[in-house]
Amino acid sequence: MSDPAEFTVIVTDTARDARDLLIEASGLTATRVSNAMASGAAWLKTEHGFRRIRRRSAKLSAGDELFLNYDESVLSQTSAPAELIKDGGRWSVWIKPSGMRAQGSKWGDHTTLGRYAENHLEPQRESFIVHRLDLAASGLMMLAHDKKAAAHLSGQFAARTVGKRYHAIVHGKFPGQAEPQQYLGEIDGKASQTEASRLRFDPESNRSVLQVSILTGRKHQIRRHLADAGFPIVGDRLYGKEKPGSDFTLSTTGTHPLLDKVKSDPGFFAEDLCLIASRLTFDDPDTGERIKCECIPQEWL
């Protein structure tokens, strides 16, 4: 089966298990259905709402609805492993690699950070997403491991008390003033604000290393602001297209220790997108202690 397909079963016989019912409805093999369920592609609708089911032993009641959202292109996706930075019990902080998703979809969640954490934390815990990071970007992401911690941490993001810092390599000679460059404007109809300052410039490759802070969290905000200013992030296939009259070229030639670091260490940088979430600060939901996590190599600082 190459095209995505959705299958639905209304439960009438509660003596049969979920996997067998989905095999019968889809015509797929037991192995494919089992793998799809383990990857988060199966859902159960009860009087209490929707939830993913991963095991054939899920309890069923008459009138429940089973759903299988089967897409081989999604289920075949893989990602590099994440790295645990700090485990706070009710929360944890990870380095998300490029290609690992922050959040799943109805088609699956097996390449998400939350699912990776559930499979690798000891002791095992449920995971809740409290913020996001671009698929192509890498760097620090926080997870909550119970609903109260998730609400507390989400509240910190809403109140903008969480500190976030990024590092990026951009094309061109970024201004080197003492004060950060300010980028303001609307993204998707909402106000946005980004601050960026230059750490280093490499004349041979015509690239700059930047430290970036965002005061709002719009989709692709850093990538869009820097590209609009004429300094697209290296490897940004979505926004990094050369514009008429611009003074930069999207060249991948030239050597520099920083650029070598990007190429040799995909665990810290996206496959091609040179953007990393490098610092995260927040208050521990239990103690109120200010927690600071960093993942930028010292040579970048």
The pLDDT, as a whole number, for residue 22 is 97
The per-residue pLDDT for 272 is 64
134 in catalytic set: yes
Pick from 128, 116, 125: nearest CA to 154: 128
Q: In CATH, what number does 164-279 get?
A: 3.30.2350.10
Greatest Cα pair distance, the chain, in angstroms, is 71
One fold for both 83-161+283-289 and 164-279?
A: yes
CATH 3.40.50.300 fits 83-161+283-289, yes or no: no
Superfamily for 5-74? RNA-binding S4 domain (3.10.290.10)
Task: Determine contact, residues 139/277, Cβ cutoff 8 Å.
Answer: yes
What is the residue extent of each domain of the chain?
5-74, 83-161+283-289, 164-279
* Helix, strand, coil share (%) of the chain residues, nearest 5: 20, 30, 50
pLDDT of residue 296: 72
- Determine the pLDDT at residue 239: 83
Note down pLDDT in tens along the chain; length 301 residues: 678 999 999 999 999 999 999 999 999 999 999 999 999 999 999 999 999 999 998 999 999 999 999 999 999 999 999 999 999 999 999 999 988 999 999 999 999 999 999 999 999 999 999 999 989 889 999 999 999 999 999 999 999 899 999 999 999 999 988 788 888 888 888 888 899 999 999 999 899 999 999 887 788 889 989 998 899 998 888 887 644 333 333 333 333 343 444 444 443 333 368 899 999 999 999 999 999 999 875 555 5
68 and 36 Cβ atoms separated by less than 8 Å: yes
Interior angle at CA 117, CA 116 and CA 123, nearest 5? 135
Q: Active site residue: 3, 134, 260, 272, which one?
A: 134
Please state, in angstroms and rounded to a whole number, the distance separating the CA atoms of residues 113 and 110. 9
First to last CA, the chain: 50
Could you give the CA distance from residue 22 to residue 19 in angstroms, rounded to a whole number?
5
Residue found by looking up tokens 């009138």 in the block: 63
